[in-house]
Amino acid sequence: MTEPDGGAYAPWMEDLRARLGRSWPARPLVSEKGEGAVPLRPAAVLIPLYVREKALWTLFTKRTDMVEHHKGQISFPGGGRSDADANLWETAIRETEEEIGVPRARVRVLGALPKLETVTDFEISPFVGAIPYPTEFTPHAGEVESIIEVPVSYLLDPMVVEERPVKWKGLEYMTLVYHYKGHAIWGATARILADFLTVMRDDSRSATEAGV
């Protein structure tokens, strides 16, 4: 896994790197899939983090209806691994560059979260990375309808999340649902987000108060 840019990491980045290196309790690979499904395809997503207005923010993409998978859903930047990708971190930052225009060389790796499976036959490797701010986001016209920027402190509020059934392709799934300004974040993205927020709650004040 290559380290971009070189140089020193900001204190909030060092703090997150340390806490993302935590030992996760042993648990089975969380899956949305049923039995007898086809082999999984490797994929990766990036949880992009940046300091804005002296606080820590992240972003999601709202996918267009033209993409092959997860049409119209809200997700982190990411996608399937390409044969040209050296590893899954490379997949995550390549897809981030393609989807929202953040140069892959400008993303600093902070750590990774547990893998999970999806009903669309992907095994997702989530990564956490710092991106520069301010930066000009350029959504890919065919893939990204819009970019949704959210303060991490907002997502840490237990009042913005619920667990309820969601219907998708005629089937009903129990899922976490995070609400933000009329947007609903659910499914695999919500489970990845929940893992990230678990890390943040280990010491949420030091990471979210990014001005210190």
With respect to residue 64, please indicate whether it lies within any of the assigned structural domains: yes
**Strand order from edge to edge, sheet including 161-168:** 161-168, 171-180, 183-186
Inside any domain, residue 50: yes
In whole angstroms, what is the distance from residue 212 CA to residue 208 CA?
9
Do residues 208 and 55 make contact, with C-beta atoms less than 8 angstroms apart? yes
Contact assessment for residue 149 and residue 100, using Cβ atoms and an 8 Å cutoff = no
Query: What one-letter code names the amino acid at 152?
Result: V
Structural contact between residues 176 and 194, judged by C-beta atoms closer than 8 angstroms: yes
User: Residue 52: in which H helix or E strand, if any?
Assistant: strand 41-52
> Within a domain: residue 87?
yes
Backbone angles phi, psi at 98, to 5 degrees: -70, -35
Q: What is the largest CA-CA distance in the chain?
A: 51
Domain of residue 91 covers 11-151
Pair 192, 111: CB distance under 8 Å: no
Tokens for 2, please give them: 């290559």
Question: What's the pLDDT tens digit per position in 37-58?
Answer: 578 899 999 999 999 999 999 9
pTM, 2 dp? 0.88
Residues of the chain with pLDDT below 50 are: 2, 5-6, 70, 204-205, 212
Is 78 contained in some domain? yes
pLDDT at 134: 94
Other C-beta atoms lying within 10 Å of the C-beta of residue 5: 11
Judged by DSSP in three states, 73 sits in coil
Taking Cα atoms as reference points, which of 57, 37, 60 lies closest to residue 186?
A: 60
Phi-psi region of 193 (alpha: psi -120 to 50; beta: other; left: phi over 0): alpha
Q: 210 in a domain, yes or no? A: no
- Here the tokens at position 4 are 């971009």
Number of domains in the chain: 1
Within-domain flag for 102: yes
Q: Is residue 15 part of a domain?
A: yes
In a domain? residue 123: yes
Express each pLDDT in 156-182 by its tens digit.
999 999 999 987 777 788 899 999 999
In the block, residue with structure tokens 């907002």 = 154
- The CATH number of the domain holding residue 50 is 3.90.79.10
